[in-house]
Amino acid sequence: MENVKSFFDSFKEFIWDIIGYLIPGSYIIILSSVFVNKDYFIAPESGSISKDFYPYIFIVISYLLGHVAYGFGWLKEVILGKKSFTKRIEENVSKRKAFILSKELISKSLLEKGIIDDLSTATVRDIRSIAMSYSQEQDQKIYTFTFRSDLSNQTGNISIVFGLLGIIFSIFKCLPIHLFKIGTKYVIVYVILIICYFLLRETRNRFYSISIGLPFSILTANATKK
């Protein structure tokens, strides 16, 4: 029975991984097909590839573009450094009582097992990983919030990139490359895409804060019950 449960857990993680990259990749393709001029939008030529293969091509390209979007988001956070949303949220979590108590409980537990280690230099994510080992049955719930945060982050980044590029090409019409479609209706949508980034940013921050802080809340709650 345990093997069956492990199989389904692994299968769900695999599906989440696929969806987590397919959705942002599909979003890029959809936005490109709507806003990029046909002269610059690459699509299979009529008769060159059987239409039966179109869905498979779409899935593969979406999956690959999803990885590109993830890499772009990761690079952005590395460039921002301590100003990145992950660092700022982790800094806030480190000041919460649940985190401080969890750190003390973990230190005490390690000492009882004869493990002497100074956790003062450990990061929030280091402590979080240890805290999660005490409540593995809650892993799925925690990963759900992490998945939602990543998805919001990627779709938000894609939205603002397309929105800003669309605005730039709409303002500077003299550019030699007319990559994006211009016009009043398109400018309105570009502005909406930029607004969507800020809305998705709040969603991203909320879910990431929960995914980081939840293991500490669970650990302290279980310790209180015991």
pLDDT: is 164 or 225 the higher one?
A: 164
SS3 (DSSP) at 175: coil
**Position 48: which residue type?**
S
**Residue 180: strand pairing partners:** 36
Q: What is the mean pLDDT of the chain?
A: 86
Q: What is the DSSP string of 131-161?
A: HHHT-GGGHHHHHHHHHHHHHHHHHHHHHHH
b/e string for 6-29 if b means 16 or more Cβ within 10 A? Answer: eeeeeeeeeebeeebbbebbbbbb
In this predicted structure, the answer to whether residue 47 has a pLDDT above a threshold of 60 is: no
SS3 (DSSP) at 174: coil
Mean pLDDT in residue range 4-13: 57
What confidence tier does 13 reach under pLDDT thresholds 50, 70, 90?
Answer: low
Size of the chain in residues: 226
**Domain coordinates of the chain in residue numbers?**
2-225
The pLDDT value given to residue 45: 59
The pLDDT value given to residue 221: 85
By percentage, how much of the chain surpasses pLDDT 90?
Answer: 52
* C-alpha to C-alpha distances, 14 to 18, 61, 131, 224, nearest whole angstrom: 6, 18, 24, 35
